[in-house]
Amino acid sequence: MDRRNLVYDQTVLVLFRIDITDMQATFKLSQNRNDVDHERIVSELEKQDEPIADVMRQHRKS
């Protein structure tokens, strides 16, 4: 085989393992959204009878 015609794949595959030692929950209910976007999100969730919509609405008021 002519070595000039070979195409060498320079992709490197690196395998590693991560042991999870801690998990932290985050209470995130679109509080970084502006009022108009937040209201639209909550309204759409209410249309789908999602209980989280009430939580989001109450959380925004406080």
Give the tens place of pLDDT for each residue, 19-43: 999 988 877 777 788 999 999 999 9
Give the single-character DSSP code of 5. Answer: G
Q: What is the overall mean pLDDT for the chain?
A: 84
pTM for the full predicted model: 0.54
Could you give the CA distance from residue 11 to residue 8 in angstroms, rounded to a whole number? 9
Per the structure block, which two tokens stand in for 53? 């919509």
* Residue 38 to residue 30: CA distance in whole angstroms: 6
Computed on alpha carbons and rounded to an integer, the radius of gyration of the chain in Å comes to 25
